[in-house]
A and B are shown apart, each in its own frame.
Chain A
């Protein structure tokens, strides 16, 4: 384990040909993403917007050709960035973002890929000097199903949240839920639910992508499935803290003296 397991490995501008690029490796799952940003470029006439820049996001899979999953990922990133980038600063131009999945534990898992993709894209946008309203950061949180399972390899990524539910009779021992941030695929397979939360520097929500993944182990009655809304709000509160404090710190540190905000 490295000395600080929480910080992702970031290398800036690995591609000399593009306006801004970034390689990002998630500390736990070793998911590696490479993004390049080019822009503002000339836009194809049919995509031209009279008052805004066109944002194009292309996600390229590590294996095989792009399919539905990649389209979904790129549309999620696109809609997040749409609110971040000041598109009206460069009307009738194209901002082209290409994200290449270099390495992933599980090339098919959408939640595992989304957080690294978003963070990497935002970093490369900063380097490319694309005007943005604010900076965002994304974190992936997995709520574990079984509180007793010990988790290996991700110490320091685990924290506990007190359950708010007033303790149904069904409630098992321990009124805490274990949350792992940036889980790897092994932990995700144990998780009850997975939440990708993206917040701006100011703490505004940019994207919430949550997934129930207990796979019907709650039995026939839908018990234990889904998540409690108050629990979720707590989780979101925690996610906001991570994004706004640690996330912004990571960005600051990565950019070093190139501080742009």
Chain B
């Protein structure tokens, strides 16, 4: 997170937001076992794949947590791992051109939804806002992040401090999050499918070229 996103972020000095973000993402994705870690094993107890996700924040206009989570999940779902064959002691990693790489085994897509609370209105109802902008975030009195997948499983909830909220409101938020996640899930799936189509078209062209060359 650097000054590119917002001049308020300084270089080399992790802010509180930094910590919360990395903890939340870790809790949401790693601890909910979204990624089947065993599938990253090449030789048991000897060789494993190591995956690294770098997040770059380019522009900050609120709701970094949700955006980061969606980006990470999409990237993980988009990622293809080269095929590996093990025969005895030898491990061969097949290049992408040789064998079609396989996707990671993502068991489910946990998606963060952050609510911002703005205190109670005249009727004693809590004012909740989804997907707050940077300005709204600066003014909010409390926030809560719920991580849900499309099957309605809550993977993580975190609300620390801020304005005190009735349990009923929180439950309402959680249910709404589950609703929203279904929509986000569809969006991600659509984006992935689009990319898949674009890629396959390219692949086919490439194959054709190869064939014509062979004929010559």
Q: Which of the residues A62, A63, A100 comes within 8 Å of B4, measured between beta carbons?
A: A100
Interface flag for B16 (CB, 8 Å): no
Interface flag for B54 (CB, 8 Å): yes
Interface flag for B180 (CB, 8 Å): no
Given A17-B61, A58-B11, A96 contacting B56 (CB threshold 8 A)? no
User: Inside 8 A of A60's CB, which chain B residues have their CB?
Assistant: 2, 4, 56
B1-15, CB under 8 A of A: which get 1 and which 0? 011111100010000
User: Inside 8 A of B56's CB, which chain A residues have their CB?
Assistant: 60, 62, 100
Is the CB–CB distance between B60 and A17 below 8 Å?
A: yes
Write the chain B residue with the least CB distance to A16: B59
Is the CB–CB distance between A17 and B2 below 8 Å?
A: no
Shortest Cβ distance from A180 into chain B, in angstroms? 24
Is the CB–CB distance between A17 and B54 below 8 Å?
A: no
A213 CA to B196 CA in the complex, in Å?
39
User: Inside 8 A of A62's CB, which chain B residues have their CB?
Assistant: 54, 56
Write the chain B residue with the least CB distance to A65: B54
Interface size class of B (residues with CB under 8 A): 10 to 19
Interface flag for B58 (CB, 8 Å): yes
A96 CA to B3 CA in the complex, in Å?
8
Interface of chain B residues 39 through 66 with chain A (CB within 8 A)? 52, 54, 56, 58-61
Is the CB–CB distance between B59 and A17 below 8 Å?
A: yes
A36 CA to B9 CA in the complex, in Å?
14
Write the chain A residue with the least CB distance to B56: A100
A-B interface, 3 closest residue pairs, ranked by CB to CB distance from nearest: A98-B4, A36-B4, A15-B59
Give B residues with C-beta under 8 Å from A: 2-7, 11, 52, 54, 56, 58-61
- 16 examples of A-B residue contacts, CB within 8 angstroms: A15-B4, A15-B58, A16-B59, A17-B60, A17-B61, A18-B4, A36-B4, A38-B7, A41-B7, A58-B2, A58-B3, A63-B52, A64-B52, A96-B3, A100-B2, A100-B58
